[in-house]
Structure 1
């Protein structure tokens, strides 16, 4: 039953039998047969079928909720038993919004030092995708915003407040000033994160508060791409101060405080709320709380 529920979760996520089968590493006939067997066991139709996958039935949507819960609990049980035998080991899948990537080592390095048998995969994505990945059991935790947009049923550990500044090249606009207003920054040639990123939606909102309809001339979902364009001297950008400092180019860029307004937004670690947590997630949340107590610059 557990295997069939995992197959069903993959199908609901991919919304395509062939893609789901490929992800699971099985044949499409094997997947189709497993879903039909699950339907027979439960006595309801789960999938709307036609020439292709057309969605889940109302019963299928409800079974999907149960499947996520049951599969999550089964994984927790297996992990607890492995920990009882071998100590804490395994693999943590962590997703992070681009503006948090520079601080990920502040979490993973001390964790791995304490638990050397644990490995990590770190993915860069947007805040909405992090919630979707958590819901579908594709990641164990995420680093994202804790406010502004609904998080759903998650456990969160606040880590730091994100504050914004203008990033400009040495000799560029406002490079010799201590601060600049959002309205002034709106007149510059800007490169910003893409519109699917919550950081960009936040920046747009603060520009709107200053009466500016911002129109960047370059967009990217990569902070490295953005900072590289700032270094050419042809663009400026808006980004969190801690991100700008992490690139370590003091001789090439200036970091100028943004005022009018001076907002800050909470960043933290999130994990799907569950009792009990897996040993890995429990340990990661504990490490995040330790980091929060020490403070994140």
Structure 2
């Protein structure tokens, strides 16, 4: 039953029988037969069928919720048994919004010092993708904003506040200022994250509140791309200070606080809400809470 539920979850995620079968490492006929057997067992149609996948039935949507819960519990059980025999080991996948990527090492480094048999994969994703990946069991945890948009059923560990600065080169407009306003920044030729990023939506909001509209001359989903353009001396951007410091800047790059308002937005670790957590996720949440306590001491 568990393997059939895993096939069903993969199909709902991929929305394509062939891709779901490939992901599960089986043939398409095998996956299709497993879904039909699941339907026969439950006595309901789960998938709207035609010449291709057309989505889940209302019953299929409800079964998907149960499937995620059951598969999650089964994985937790297997990990608990393994941890009891071998100690904490395995692999953790974390997705992070671009502005938080540089902060992930603050969590993973002390975690792995305590648990050397654990390995990591770190993915760059926007905030909506982080939540989607969590619900589909494709990641174990995520770094994202936790106050601005609905998160759904997740456990959150607040970590730190983003505060926004104008990042520009010495000699550029406003580069000699101690502070700048959002209205002043809105008049500059900016390079910003793409509109699908929540950081960009936050920046758009603050500029709009200042009577400006964001009209960037360059957009990218990579903070490295933005920073490389700033280094040319021809561009400026809006970034959280902790990110800019991690990327590394000195003369001739300046970070100038943006005021009116002095905005801040909370970033934290999120994990799918469930009881019990897998041993890996439970240990990761514990480490995140210790990290959060350290952030509070310096903020």
The TM tier, using the shorter chain, reads: over 0.9
State the secondary structure of the residue aligned to 1:95.
strand
Cα distance, 1:116 vs. partner? 0.2
Task: Find runs of 4+ consecutive structure 1 residues off by over 2 angstroms.
Answer: none
State the secondary structure of the residue aligned to 1:11.
helix
- The answer as to 2:115 corresponding to 1:115 is yes
Tell me what 1:202 maps to. Answer: 202
Cα distance, 1:252 vs. partner? 3.0
2-side partners of 1:247 and 1:130: how far apart?
22
State the secondary structure of the residue aligned to 1:49.
coil
Question: Structure 2, unaligned stretches of length 5 or more?
Answer: none
Tell me what 1:50 maps to. Answer: 50
Which moved further from structure 2: 142-151 or 248-257? 248-257
Question: Structure 1, unaligned stretches of length 5 or more?
Answer: none
State the secondary structure of the residue aligned to 1:48.
coil
Alignment coverage as a number of residue pairs: 297
Which moved further from structure 2: 14-23 or 105-114? 14-23
What is the root-mean-square deviation of aligned Cα atoms in Å?
0.9
Question: What pairs with 1:1-297 in structure 2 (closer than 5 Å)?
Answer: 1-295=1-295
2-side partners of 1:129 and 1:147: how far apart?
16
State the secondary structure of the residue aligned to 1:47.
coil
Assess, with a 3 A threshold, how the Cα gap between structure 1 residues 252 and 25 changes in structure 2: closer, same or farther. Answer: farther
Cα distance, 1:20 vs. partner? 0.9
Cα deviation 1:231-282 (Å, max 9, x = unaligned): 1111100010101111112123100110111110100000011111110000
1-side partners of 2:156 and 2:244: how far apart?
25
Cα deviation 1:155-195 (Å, max 9, x = unaligned): 10000011001000122221121111110111110000000
Which moved further from structure 2: 233-242 or 168-177? 168-177
2-side partners of 1:69 and 1:268: how far apart?
24
Cα distance, 1:25 vs. partner? 1.6
Cα deviation 1:20-51 (Å, max 9, x = unaligned): 11111211111111111111111111000001
2-side partners of 1:284 and 1:277: how far apart?
10
